[in-house]
Structure 1
Amino acid sequence: MSSPRGWAESSSLVALRRVLARGATVRRVVARRAGLSDHELSALEMLSRDATGPGELAGALDVTRPAATGIVDRLVARGHAERRAHPADRRRTEVVVTDSGRGEARTHLLPMFLALAELDASFDDAEREVVARYLEGVVAALDAVAAEPTDG
Structure 2
Amino acid sequence: MVDNSALVRLLRQLTVETDRFAEMFGEKQGMHRTDLNALAVIMDARWSGEPMSPSRLAAALHLSASATTSVLDRLEASGHVERVRSPHDRRKVELRVPDKALELGRRFFVPLDEAFTRAWEGFDDADREVVARFLAASIDATVAVRAGLASPPRHE
Percent identical among aligned pairs is 32
Residues 107 and 53 of structure 1, relative CA distance in 2, 3 Å threshold = same
What SS does the corresponding residue of 1:129 show, helix, strand or coil?
A: helix
Contact 1:44 1:102 in 2 (8 A): no
1:74 corresponds to:
74
- Unaligned runs of 5+ residues in structure 1 are 1-7
1:110 partner letter: V
Runs of at least 4 residues of structure 1 off by over 6 A?
Answer: none
Moved more, 138-147 or 102-111: 102-111
TM-score relative to the length of structure 1: 0.83
Provide, for residues 107-131 of structure 1, a one-character-per-residue CA deviation record: whole Å limited to 9, x for no partner. 2222111111222333111111221
**In structure 2, what is the Cα distance between the partners aligned to 1:113 and 1:12?**
22
Structure 2 matches for 1:92-111, cutoff 5 A?
92-111=92-111
1:23 maps to which of 18, 22, 36: 18
TM-score relative to the length of structure 2: 0.81
Question: Which structure carries more relative contact order (alpha carbon 8 Å, separation 6+)?
Answer: 1
How many residues align? The count is: 145
1:16 partner letter: L
Contact 1:48 1:102 in 2 (8 A): no
RMSD: 2.0
2:126 corresponds to:
126
